[in-house]
Chains A and B, each alone.
Chain A
Amino acid sequence: MLFESVAWAAETAEHGTEAAHHAEGGAPHILNIIAFLQKLFPDSHFVHFLHQHENILFTVFCAILISFFCWLGARHRQMIPRGLQNCIEMLFEGLDKFVCGIIGPKGTKYTPFVGSVFLYILINNLMGVVPLMHSATSAFTTTLPIALAVFFYVQLTGIRELGLGGYLHHLVGSPNDLIGWMLAPLLLILHVIGELARPLSLALRLFGNISGEHVLMAIFMGMGVAITGVIKVPAPIHFPFLFLGLLTSFIQAFVFSLLTTIYLALLLSHEHEHDEAHGNDQHKTEQSLGITEIN
């Protein structure tokens, strides 16, 4: 009897549930509004087009959502912030503290980029736990462009802050002596491989965590529907995983922006060291010339 019930539940989960279904030969995923529309209008070319581009549509929606709330918060700016302006200012202050905590006082310059990346990923991740919405960050085609944007931004910042010569010097491991210059070709290769590995690791981590979380939720939703069919009482067994989803969404957005900040800090600390070394050289030159300031 028990075996029959389990078999029936499994069959229901496989064929009968709308909550979780297998995508064309892929992993199970949670039903979103576009997939739902496609089930309602299977012959519509427009809905088919939407379904094909659902990740792009959800990312655009996410960008519009963030822009709208920022516009709403900044619409009637007051010296003493209230309501949404207060929330947005708190968020931006928090992000600025976070960036400056790693980079230092110069970090404020990079807060807009890191903050945008954080918010964009966070909202995209959180959309996955909202019914009928979809998290575009569960697709590698979404996470890779974000990681590439970070990669190019870090490289361009390096060139802008250090100059082309300084950037190349940084790439070969900032050699100062003969041994350093002899090791430079090896360090250049190591550095280039490390730089190329960064966007891939950023993209894969985010994609893996978010898609894994969604597959887990979809499986438990399917099981919940199947169990509901057997015991005739709603069984939302995926519910605890929604909290896990909230936590994962935040942690992944945080880790992504944390690593972006670290990559910037690695370049800027080099600039700082370069400045210090340059300052020391200048100081030594001044001392040798006898122009040291007398206190």
Chain B
Amino acid sequence: LEKDPKQEWYESIRQAGVVATIPIMLGIGPVVGLYLGKGLDHLWSTSPIFSYVGLVLGFLAAIRETYRIIKQLSKKK
């Protein structure tokens, strides 16, 4: 069966959206985690423990968020 060209175009734009999301989300997650960790370090004078923990958790959160977005998009309604 041939795909509807309009539908195909819509699908490719949708995929472009997902592809555009991944690098930015993977970059922003660790930054947010790092800054939250820095804030906690500043609060409790524990530098740099929470900064490193925040960085790692930020990266994990970014991977989780990206996975959830891709999973949601690949669902068939």
Contact = CB atoms under 8 A, between A and B. Distances in A.
Interface of A: 100-104, 186, 189-191, 193-194, 196-198, 200-201, 204-205, 251, 254-255, 258-259, 262, 265-266, 269
A266 B28 CA distance: 20
Given A102-B77, A201-B25, A259-B69, A254 B62 contact: no
A205 B64 contact: no
Interface residues of B, number: 29
Nearest to A102: B77
B16 A205 contact: no
A194 B21 CA distance: 13
Contacts of B43: none
B13 A197 contact: no
A244 B31 CA distance: 30
A259 B72 contact: no
B57 A259 contact: no
A238 to B, nearest CB: 24
Interface string B10-25: 0001101100110011
8 contacts: A190-B57, A193-B57, A194-B62, A196-B32, A197-B65, A201-B25, A259-B69, A265-B72
Contacts of B54: 193
B17 A255 contact: yes
A265 B31 CA distance: 25
Interface in B12-69: 13-14, 16-17, 20-21, 24-25, 27-29, 31-33, 36, 54, 57-58, 60-62, 64-65, 68-69
Looking at A186, A255, A266, the one whose CB has the most chain B CB atoms below 10 A away is A255
A35 B77 CA distance: 48
A193 B69 contact: no
Contacts of B29: 193-194, 197
A251 B62 CA distance: 23
Chain A facing B: main interface SS:
helix
Contact of A189 (B28, B57, B62, B72): B57
Contacts, number: 78
Contact of A190 (B60, B69, B75): B60
A154 to B, nearest CB: 13
A269 B72 contact: yes
B31 to A, nearest CB: 8
A204 B21 CA distance: 11
A259 B21 CA distance: 8
A242 B29 CA distance: 33
Contacts of B20: 205, 251, 255
Contact of A197 (B14, B62, B68, B77): B62
B48 to A, nearest CB: 18
A201 B72 contact: no
A255 B16 contact: yes
Contacts of B73: 102, 262
Contacts of A193: 29, 32-33, 36, 54, 57-58, 61-62
Contacts of B32: 193, 196-197, 200
A258 B14 contact: yes
Contacts of A104: 77
Contact of A255 (B21, B25, B27, B65): B21
